[in-house]
Structures are given as structure tokens and as C-alpha cells.
């Protein structure tokens, strides 16, 4: 029992080196930096157009624009595919490179190996999207100058930013657990990723009881700015469901992630390596 902490920290350090500097993961950084670039271009354009015949918009409009970008890009693309790229390769990548047996030959409990890989992926994905949300939110309204600073310090700005950060991290926790388990048990983890992507994007059109069998439903419930329904005909097909309160959504996501990881850790005890698959 006295060895589990140094063993877990050793796995995390080793996996962080491989995850941060992996050549296969360069596109994850682009996913995280894309909204920062968009927000920067937006604020530079507004600064350049100040004083000209340009109808500027309000802070509330920028908040609505950011809420749209967060729900459409961060939740449905950036965090989702980022977790696919990071977590699904933690075990499947070792299988492809024929290096997983080195872990299995060491006197290391399989549960610690699963936990170490998951925590390392969570640190990488959480840090990337935490910084991305922070930078993109700040840059989105920076062209308002002093008014934006007042909105952040004395208005609802910091509270909104805190919820966006929490949703991003919770998304990494939930999707990360699912895709790490998929990389362990399924030969091609892209297949469950594609199925889950379709299911998550169909969520607005599903009945209420099916909406709740998804990660994005709970993440959207925690977003600080609610978006209106799209115009017809899509709005006709959508099914309105009351959002889940935070005191249920947050523990619910954590419990689901813990259950998936517990199953993966137990299954890892009986895992056998077959590089010929």
C-alpha cells in the first residue's frame, strides 16, 4: 500500500511526457487554439473599426456570441474530439506501438496503470481547454475596454467564466472516461466515437428520458447563458426538456465517470496482450 503513490505519480509523469510531446496529438492543440484565434480576430476587427461608420454591438451581444461558440464548438467539437485524440490513444496507442507489455511486466497494479493514464490525459485535456476557454472569453469582449473590465470585476462576467471553465473540465472528465475505456476494449475506438458523436448531436431531438442518457445534456444544463431554439423547421422537431440543476448534473457526471473508470480498472486485471489483433 505504501508504494501506490510513487507508482501512480511515476505513471502520470511518464504519460504526461508522451502525451504532451506526441506527434500524433498536434491537431488537439489546434482544436484548443481555434476559438482563441477567432476571439482575437473578432476583437481586433472591432478595435480597428472603432470611430468609423461601424455599428458596434453591446457586451450582452458578445456574451451571446460566446455562448453560441461554446455550445456549438467547444462542447460538440473541440472537447469531444480532443478527448477522442488524447484518451483513446492512451491504451490503443501502446497496442499499436507494441509497448504495452512493458507496463504489464512491471510490479504495478493494473488499477494504478488505468488511473495514472486517465489522470495524465485529464491533466493535458483539462489544461488545454481551461486555458482556451479563459483566453477566448477574455478576448471576445476586450474591445469594449473599461466596460469589459467592469463587466468582469463587478458584473456577471467572472461567474459566467467560472461556469464555462467548470463545464469544459467536466466535459473532459466525462468524455475522457468513455474514450479511455473504448481504447481499452475496442480494436478501433473511432467506431464508438462516431456512434457517440451522432447520439450527442441528436440530443435536442430525442424524447426527454433519452436526452438524459448523454453527456452533453448535463453539460448544456450547466452553461450560464441559455440559447434560444433555432428557427423552423428545426425548432418543430426539437423536444423541450427542463435542464438538470447543477446539484444533480455535476455529481451525476462525476459518478458516471467514476463508474466507467472502475469497470475499466477491474477489467484491466484480466487483460491480456495480443499484438496480432
Can you give the pLDDT at residue 53? 56
Can you give the pLDDT at residue 80? 94
Verify cis geometry, omega within 30 degrees of 0, for the bond prior to 233.
yes
Can you give the pLDDT at residue 192? 86
pTM of the model: 0.90
Span 46-99, pLDDT tens digits: 888 776 655 567 888 899 999 999 999 999 899 999 999 899 888 887 887 788
If pLDDT is split at 50, 70 and 90, which confidence band does 5 have? confident
Span 11-20, pLDDT tens digits: 999 888 887 7
All structural domains of the chain with their residue ranges: 4-50+57-268
Handedness of CA 6, 111, 78, 60 (dihedral sign): negative
Cβ contacts of 163 within 8 Å, gap of 6 or more: 222, 223, 224
Cβ contacts of 135 within 8 Å, gap of 6 or more: 36, 39
Cβ contacts of 41 within 8 Å, gap of 6 or more: none
Amino acid at each position: 500500500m505504501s508504494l501506490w503513490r510513487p507508482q501512480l505519480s511515476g505513471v502520470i509523469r511518464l504519460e504526461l511526457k508522451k502525451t504532451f510531446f506526441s506527434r500524433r496529438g498536434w491537431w488537439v492543440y489546434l482544436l484548443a487554439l481555434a476559438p482563441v484565434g477567432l476571439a482575437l480576430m473578432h476583437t481586433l476587427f472591432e478595435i480597428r473599426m472603432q470611430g468609423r461608420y461601424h455599428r458596434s454591438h453591446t457586451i450582452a451581444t458578445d456574451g451571446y456570441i460566446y455562448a453560441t461558440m461554446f455550445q456549438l464548438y467547444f462542447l460538440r467539437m473541440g472537447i469531444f474530439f480532443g478527448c477522442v485524440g488524447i484518451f483513446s490513444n492512451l491504451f490503443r496507442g501502446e497496442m499499436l506501438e507494441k509497448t504495452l507489455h512493458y507496463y504489464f511486466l512491471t510490479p504495478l497494479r493494473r488499477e494504478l496503470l488505468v488511473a495514472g493514464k486517465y489522470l495524465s490525459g485529464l491533466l493535458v485535456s483539462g489544461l488545454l481547454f481551461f486555458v482556451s476557454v479563459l483566453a477566448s472569453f477574455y478576448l471576445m469582449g476586450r474591445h469594449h475596454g473599461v466596460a469589459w473590465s467592469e463587466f468582469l470585476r463587478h458584473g456577471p462576467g467572472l461567474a459566467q467564466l467560472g461556469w464555462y471553465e467548470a463545464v469544459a473540465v467536466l466535459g473532459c472528465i466525462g468524455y475522457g472516461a468513455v474514450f479511455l475505456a473504448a481504447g481499452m476494449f475496442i480494436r478501433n475506438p473511432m467506431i464508438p466515437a462516431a456512434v457517440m458523436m451522432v447520439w450527442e448531436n441528436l440530443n435536442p431531438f430525442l424524447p426527454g428520458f433519452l436526452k438524459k442518457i448523454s453527456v452533453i445534456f448535463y453539460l448544456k444544463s450547466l452553461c450560464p447563458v441559455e440559447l434560444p431554439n433555432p428557427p423552423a423547421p428545426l425548432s418543430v422537431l426539437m423536444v423541450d426538456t427542463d435542464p438538470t440543476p447543477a446539484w444533480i448534473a455535476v455529481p451525476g457526471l462525476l459518478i458516471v465517470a467514476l463508474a466507467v473508470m472502475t469497470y475499466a480498472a477491474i477489467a484491466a486485471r484480466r487483460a491480456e496482450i495480443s499484438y496480432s489483433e
